[in-house]
Amino acid sequence: MTPLLARYAGGQGSQAALYPFWALQNNDLWEVEGSEDLSLTSGGRRPTKAALDEANPMAGLPKDDYELLTHDWALTARIASNLLLRFFPDAMDEVAHAMGLQQLLAGGIDVALRPRVGELYKDRTAIAAAYGGNKVGGITPLEDGLLSVFSDDKGPYDDSRVPGTDWIAYTGDGLSGDQELIKGNKSMALYQAERRALRYWHKPHGGDFTFETWTVVIQCRRRWGVGANGKRRQEFVWILAPVASPLSETWPDEVNAALNADDLSVHNDLDLELPEADPDDAPGAPTPMERYRKLSAAARRTAARRTERSKLTTVERFLRSAPARSAVILRSDGRCENPTCLGHPMERTDKGAPLLEVDHVNQLSDGGGDTPETMIALCPNCHALKTRGSGRRELSKKLLRRARELHEAFSQGEEQN
**Could you read off the pLDDT of 207-224 as tens digits, one per residue?**
999 999 999 999 999 998
User: Please, are residues 355 and 347 in contact by the beta-carbon 8 Å criterion?
Assistant: yes
Longest pairwise C-alpha distance within the chain: 94
Which residue ranges form the domains of the chain, and what is each CATH number?
Answer: 2-112 (no CATH), 115-270 (2.30.280.10), 272-417 (no CATH)
pLDDT at 288: 81
Question: Nearest 5°: CA angle at 92, between 85 and 119?
Answer: 35
Under a CB-based contact definition with an 8 Å cutoff, are residues 88 and 101 in contact? no
CA distances (Å), origin 262, targets 116, 173, 199, 238, 239: 28, 21, 20, 12, 11
Distance from CA of residue 110 to its chain's centroid?
A: 20
- pLDDT at site 275: 47
**CA angle in degrees (0–180, nearest 5) for 109-256-87:** 35
Do you find a cis peptide bond into 115, omega within 30 degrees of 0?
yes
pLDDT value of residue 304: 67
* E strand or H helix at 214: strand 209-226
For the chain, what is the radius of gyration of the CA atoms? 27
Angle CA 340–341–347, to nearest 5: 155
| Structure confidence at residue 279 (pLDDT) | 46
Instruction: Characterize the bridge pairing of strands 198-203 and 209-226.
Output: antiparallel
pTM of the model: 0.74
Give me the pLDDT at residue 278, please. Answer: 46
Strand partners, 223: 235
Buried/exposed 182-200: b ≥16 CB within 10 Å, e otherwise: ebbbebbbebbeebbbbbb
In whole angstroms, give the CA distance from residue 43 to residue 83: 29
Amino acid at 180: E
| Residue 277: per-residue pLDDT | 44
pLDDT at 286: 73
Q: What is the 3-state secondary structure (H, E, C) of 118-149?
A: CCEECCHHHHHHHHCCCCCCCEEECCCCCEEE
Any idea how long the chain is?
Answer: 417
CA separation for the pair 275, 294 (Å, rounded): 9
The segments of the chain whose pLDDT lies below 70 read 1, 11-16, 272-285, 302, 304-310, 320, 345, 350-351, 363-369, 413-417
Helix ranges (DSSP H) in 60-135: 63-71, 73-87, 92-98, 109-112, 124-131
